[in-house]
Amino acid sequence: MEIENLKGVGPKTLDALHKLEIYNINDLLSYYPFRYQVLKPEVLDNSDNVKTIVGKVESAPRVIFIKRNLNRLAFRFITEGKIINVSIFNRGFLKDKIQIGSDLTLIGKYNSKTNNFAASDIRLFKLEETLIEPKYHLIKEMKSNLFSKLMGQALNSNEPVVDYIPLYLNKTYKFLSKWEALKEIHHPTNLTLLKKAKLKFIYEELFIFMFKINYLKYKKSLEHDFLKRTNKEKEVLDFTKNLPFSLTKDQEKATQDILNDYIAPKRMNRLVLGDVGSGKTIVAFIAIYANYLDNYQSVLMAPTEILAKQHYENIIKIMANYDIKVKLLIGSMKKKEKQQILEEVKEQKIDVLIGTHAVLNENLVFANLGLVITDEQHRFGVNQRSSLQNKGQKVDVIYLSATPIPRTYALTLYGDMDTSLIKSKPKGRRQVITDIKKESELKEVLQAILTQIKLGHQIYVVAPSILDNEDNELENVNSLKEKFNQAFKGLIKIGVLHGKQKPAEKEKIMQDFAENKYNILISTTVIEVGIDVANATMMVVFNAERFGLATLHQLRGRVGRSNLDSYCYLISNYEKERLQVLKESNDGFYISQKDFELRGEGDLFGSKQSGDMSFKIANLQRDYKILLQVKKDSLEYLQELLKGNTHSSYYDQIIKKIDFID
């Protein structure tokens, strides 16, 4: 069944589904809830806890209009023989549906002193037993009741679904069948079956991931006929001595790892994993220089145009005294410019090409490609990275990542790569002074922002969401812009950046900020990596408790990129103890370890990205023990397949799955 054929799906609903990256029934079925609300009838007491109560309406409801877009619905209610007053905001539209004598279920808090029940939700039925309701991350254009109806149709569609867990492992762990698990995760019968369904999908997602890791490692072991390299240690040492700064010990070690890979009888497949501002890029440039000495071409792919331009400008400076031809290839260039670069690359008139996704152009042909470098590697899919590598014969590959994770986890998650860690930072980098403020202390933060702006410096402000959210406490980029305009009386230039904007629009806003056309950039976590503005000296993060420590550390890393004193304010009324870790330390590896220990939920890699580390239901902190078991199971399964000891149908399914993982 096509998703367009579901009842209730018109052009607008279809567009909303596409925005949620739902294009077919299987996409819909695998759009898992992010949490569940468990409702069960409770006894009304004097505690300050949220309660779910049932009873009957005792008086006709009244709607009081407080101001535009704000109303209060009020009525009397009988529960357990007691009459209480009920009020709820912005539910005036329910007035005609609530009649005297109607059975209702109310969710909210009771104040015994005023005998008032402040409801947060009203259900137009009497709850008889425990109800488990799924909650989905949705957008403004997709209402939760419509989404639930569409999900119900999908669950009744009998659409073919593939179980990526081999049959014997399903039996070993007594997993639910795929359809049973789908029905339980979207329409839970009870908490026990819900737990089993979640375990099934967590295991399946991690199994696909770890099987891919093991499969790629196996494929690499079969490769031969590698590029012929010569030992260039002396030339590289001379090159590093001429740099305008000294390398740290970690940078020296990473460089040596790369030089050893060059002359080893295998293709280099190395991840350079470094903390924010640790200097991974110069290691990449040294690798490019060594590659050039053997007359091979290099290509470096970055996730954004501004980052690609940044790399281009930096390598031009570093290579100024060397006869190395470097060019930039980005999507916003004119067609004639691009064509000229394609011709020069093909004729080896270009030694180094820096670019964005534009370097994936099928018409781009290298004369003698020897090295592929992917910056922020988790931002690119497997197909994108392999497409670039296939532009040469047995090319060496380096991945750069600014996501510092403990070595133990790195060895598991990047099991098909060799890993170099860069922990120490170059001399001269200032530590960012971090403080935690409650919302009631916001005036102090606004004053600090004004002080920095008067000094000519710029500010990042991060909000956890783009648009109005179901959770009214969450700040969003638009509401923050309004508040900042009011606070500074419209005298300060403010830019807004978020993931829903078109790429060209995002690039323009980031470029304008880099050129100091905005005093403040209000953004979601899209600025977590990639934008390097030395003049930015302050990061302010609202609802900081919503982010993992690793993500907050990444955000903080956007400032302190010069010799200017820099600051980070975390705005939160909650979790001060957890956020204290950031106040005490600037060590990304330590912080990520604490993130694993302290945070039950969340995403180690920040907001979900389109790369390998984007999981729909699995969580690397919470599910690490499952990951270790899955690593063992998937390796054993692959080995049995290679020996011919097990049926290959599951193998074929998983290989197909690997082919379209992005």
| Continuous segment of H or E residues that includes residue 215 | helix 191-221
Residue 264: count other Cβ atoms within 10 Å of its Cβ: 13
In whole angstroms, give the CA distance from residue 576 to residue 578.
Answer: 6
* Shared domain check, 525 and 574: yes
Q: DSSP per residue over 104-135, as a string? A: EEEEEEEETTTTEEEEEEEESS---S-EEEEE
Query: What secondary structure does DSSP assign to 275-340, as a single string?
Result: -TTS-HHHHHHHHHHHHHHTT-EEEEE-SSHHHHHHHHHHHHHHTTTS---EEEE-TTS-HHHHHH
**pLDDT band at 649; cut points 50, 70, 90:** low
Give kind and range of the element (H or E) at residue 77.
strand 70-79
Domain of 579, in residue numbers: 433-585
The count of other CB atoms within 10 Å of the CB of residue 407 is 13
pLDDT in tens, 108-118: 999 989 999 99
Task: Return the CATH number at 288.
Answer: 3.40.50.300
| pLDDT value of residue 650 | 58
Q: What is the pLDDT of residue 380?
A: 46
In a domain, 474, yes or no: yes
Using pLDDT thresholds of 50, 70 and 90, give the confidence band for residue 291.
Answer: very high
Q: Is residue 531 part of a domain?
A: yes
- 593, pLDDT greater than 60: yes
**Count of Cβ atoms closer than 10 Å to residue 213 Cβ:** 20
Higher local confidence (pLDDT), 14 or 2:
14
Task: Report if residue 79 sits inside a domain.
Answer: yes
- What is the DSSP secondary structure assignment for residue 652, as one 8-state letter? H
Measured distance CA(106)–CA(58) in Å, rounded: 14
pLDDT score recorded for residue 299: 96
Return the CATH number at 114. Answer: 2.40.50.140
What would the mean pLDDT of 636-640 be, rounded to a whole number? 89
> How far is the C-alpha of 651 from the C-alpha of 169, rounded, in Å?
13
Q: Is the pLDDT of residue 468 over 50?
A: no
613 vs 348: which has the higher pLDDT: 348
pLDDT for 423? 84
Task: Classify 468 as helix, strand or coil.
Answer: coil
Final residue before a domain boundary, out of 569, 585, 601 = 585
> Do residue 488 and residue 534 come from a single domain?
yes
Task: Please report whether residue 333 resides in a domain.
Answer: yes
| pLDDT averaged over every residue in the chain | 86
Q: What is the dihedral of CA 179, 21, 472, 495, to 10 degrees?
A: 160
Share of the chain above pLDDT 90, in %: 53
In this prediction, residues 260-284 reach a mean pLDDT of 88
pLDDT of residue 443: 93
Report CA-CA distances (Å) from 538 to 435, 455, 497, 559.
11, 12, 17, 6
Q: How high is the pLDDT of residue 124?
A: 94
Q: How many angstroms separate the Cα of 485 from the Cα of each of 360, 490, 540?
A: 41, 5, 16
Q: Tens of pLDDT along 399-440?
A: 898 776 766 667 676 777 888 988 887 776 778 999 999 989
Residue with the two structure tokens 């300060």: 492
Count CB atoms within 10 A of the CB of residue 151. 20
Report pLDDT for 651: 58
* pLDDT tens string 52-91: 999 999 999 999 999 888 999 999 999 999 999 999 999 9
First to last CA, the chain: 24
Query: Of 537, 567, 585, which one is at a domain's C-terminal end?
Result: 585
Q: At what angle do helices 191-221 and 178-186 cross, to 10 degrees?
A: 130
Whether residue 284 is found in the same domain as residue 385? yes
**Residue where a domain stops, chosen among 123, 145, 163:** 123
Position 169 pLDDT exceeds 90: yes
Q: Which of 216-225, 425-434, 522-531 has the lowest mean pLDDT?
A: 522-531
* pLDDT above 60 (res 474): no
Q: Is the pLDDT of residue 631 over 70?
A: yes
Q: Answer positive or negative: Cα dihedral of 576, 581, 583, 588.
A: negative
Q: How far apart are CA 28 and CA 153, in angstroms?
A: 10
Query: Mind listing the pLDDT tens digit for each residue in 178-192?
Result: 999 999 999 999 999
Crossing angle of the two packed helices 144-155 and 178-186, in degrees rounded to 10: 160
Give the pLDDT score at 479: 84
Does the pLDDT value for residue 243 go beyond 50?
A: yes
390 and 454, same domain (yes or no): no
Q: How many domains does the chain have?
A: 3
Residue 634 tokens read as 């998937």
Q: What is the pLDDT of residues 359-399, one digit of tens each?
A: 988 899 999 999 999 987 554 455 555 667 778 778 899 98
